[in-house]
Amino acid sequence: MPNRIWYPHQEGICSKQAHADFPEQTFEREAGRDGFYGPASHFHHRHAPTGWSDWQGDLRPRAFDFTKVECALQGSPWSVPTLLHNDQCKIRFWQISQSMETLVRNADGDELLFIHAGKGEFYCDYGHLTVTQGDYVLIPRGTLWRIDVSQSLAILMVENSNGRFGLPDKGLVGNHAIFDPAILRVPAINDAFRDQYSEQTTHVSVKRGDTLSTITYPFNPLDAVGWHGDLSVVSLNWRDIRPLMSHRYHLPPSAHTTFVADGFVVCTFVPRPVESDDRALKVPFYHSNDDYDEVLFYHHGQFFSRDNIHPGMVTFHPAGFTHGPHPKAYQKAQTQPATFIDEVAVMIDTRNALRFTQDAKNIEVEDYVNSWRIG
């Protein structure tokens, strides 16, 4: 990241505090760099920055209904189509109703699972872990794993290709804010894990690039009796996240960062009180995040800044255009603001542009770009 050049200046009619104390009859827009970490300016406009009447071309906001992915009921994660991707990140959506018959290993990078629905028993090199709705499961590159399904699972999969996931630097608020690392769960070598030891032939499906290889063992290679070290599968449930908030200031999405990766970040929005200060913005601010593409997976609740969005849907807002709350959501926040936000969503912000496969285009909500239009 380059050194910052600070040249603060004030021009015309504007507030002195971002996201608060707006001049009357104006709309604030933040133009910022480096994903809310870099320099920024805040404009005050006479019209909503998303008030377009028409849009032509591919660089536009999009929405996808991941619950409609065709042929997604697969027993292996490697049978699930990639939907959005770039060189650092691959996003898939996996629905599985039967226990996996083989072990799998991702030789391309770390894998992050988010359990959107269902329950299962997760077995891996490190032991056994029960996973359920709302869990993140971070799987280091090269780990052997499989899932026994207890209740049909729907899983958002995020691959960090040729890289690894880590925890964010929490800065001024300290290491125990948002969630204490001590709350992370690690698989156990317990009775459930020991019960799956066997001398039966076991197949391992290894993914490397666009090819799959199968390794056959005359025994189950998940046979560790113990381990030590600081590399492991870890799990975190969104219910264990304690969000940063301010009653006087709407915090940027970066305040909700859960995992950092090579070329992108994963953030989690969880239920929280709304800002109570009368002059503070109470919905996400209009912004031009000009260095990152933004993907938002809607998991649970009432999505207060969006219309016609249900759990399992995804919105995509590319770098290079202003986005923010829909008109009705913005208007309601001015006239009848809520006191509590009851929503859970996973955001993936990527430094490099994402591409869409045909499988993603097949489930696109075509008219989403027009949902900001007034009237």
Q: pLDDT tens digit string along 199-217?
A: 999 999 999 998 999 999 9
When comparing pLDDT for 258 and 278, which is higher? Answer: 258
Establish if 169 belongs to a structural domain: no
**Banded pLDDT at 367 (limits 50, 70, 90):** confident
Q: Is 131 left (phi over 0), alpha (psi -120 to 50) or beta?
A: beta
Determine, yes or no, domain membership for 5. no
Amino acid 45: pLDDT? 84
pLDDT of residue 305: 56
> Of 202, 223, 238, which residue is a domain's last?
238
Statement to judge: residues 213 and 76 lie in one domain? yes
Pick from 279, 294, 277, 375: which is nearest to 328 by CA? 375
Can you list the alpha helix ranges (DSSP code H) found in the chain? 191-195, 327-335, 358-361
Is the pLDDT at 5 greater than 70? The verdict is: no
Gap between the Cα atoms of 357 and 344, Å rounded: 26
Give the Cα-Cα-Cα angle 318, 319, 325 (nearest 5 degrees): 65
Nearest to 76 by CA among 96, 92, 56: 96
Label residue 32 exposed, middle or buried (CB < 10 Å: 0-12, 13-18, 19+). buried
Burial class (CB in 10 A: 0-12, 13-18, 19+), 271: middle
Whole-model pTM over 0.95: no
Check whether residue 207 and residue 143 sit in a common domain: yes
Phi, psi angles (nearest 5°) of residue 323: -140, 170
* 33 and 146 together in one domain: no
- Does a structural domain hold residue 91? yes
- Helix or strand run (H / E) with residue 123: strand 109-124
Task: Please tell me whether residues 224 and 106 are part of one structural domain.
Answer: yes
The pLDDT assigned to 316 comes to 94
Asked if 207 and 346 sit in the same domain, the reply is no
Q: What is the pLDDT of residue 196?
A: 97
Last residue in a domain, options 238, 266, 281: 238
In whole angstroms, give the CA distance from residue 361 to residue 372.
Answer: 21
Indicate whether 192 pLDDT > 60. yes
256 lies in the same domain as 185? no
Angle, CA of 151, 183 and 298, to the nearest 5° = 50
Query: Residue 278: inside a domain, yes or no?
Result: yes
pLDDT digits (tens, 9 = 90+) for 274-316: 888 888 877 777 777 778 899 999 999 877 556 678 999 999 9
Report yes or no on 151 lying in a domain: yes
Which of 238, 267, 283 marks a domain boundary? 238
Single-letter amino acid, residue 303: F
pLDDT of residue 286: 79
- Which pLDDT score, from 0 to 100, does residue 147 have? 98
Cα separation, 13 vs 25, whole angstroms: 11
pLDDT at 179 over 90: yes
Which is more confidently placed, 153 or 17?
Answer: 153
pLDDT for position 298:
96
pLDDT greater at residue 22 or residue 145: 145
CB contact at 8 A, 13 and 3:
no
Mean pLDDT of the chain: 89
pLDDT digits (tens, 9 = 90+) for 34-91: 767 777 778 888 888 777 778 888 888 899 999 999 765 578 999 999 999 999 999 9
Residue 149: its H or E element: strand 145-161
Task: Please check whether residues 142 and 271 belong to one and the same domain.
Answer: no
pLDDT given at position 304: 58
**Co-location of 220 and 89 in the same domain:** yes
| Residue 203 belongs to a domain | yes
Residue 71 has what pLDDT? 62
114, 255: one domain: no
Residues 327 and 203 in one domain: no
pLDDT at 130: 98
Q: Average of pLDDT values for 249-264?
A: 90
Half-sphere exposure of 139 (CA within 13 A, CB side): 30
The answer to whether the CB of 32 falls within 8 A of the CB of 290 is: yes
- Its domain, for residue 153, covers 71-164+175-238
> Is there a single domain that holds both residue 200 and residue 316?
no
Domain annotation covers residue 283: yes
User: What integer pLDDT is reported at residue 315 of this predicted model?
Assistant: 94
Q: In 3D, which of 75, 136, 148 has the Cα closest to residue 111? A: 136
In a domain, 334, yes or no: yes
pLDDT (tens digit, 9 = 90+) per residue, 100-138? Answer: 999 999 999 999 999 999 999 999 999 999 999 999 999
pLDDT in tens, 86-105: 999 999 999 999 999 999 99
- CB distance 28 to 324 below 8 Å: no
- Evaluate if residue 33 carries a pLDDT over 80: no
For residue 264, what pLDDT is reported? 96
Residues 230 and 153 in one domain: yes
CATH code (residue 324)? 2.60.120.10
190 or 303: whose pLDDT is higher?
190
For the chain, the domain total comes to 2
> What are 25's two structure tokens?
């009859």
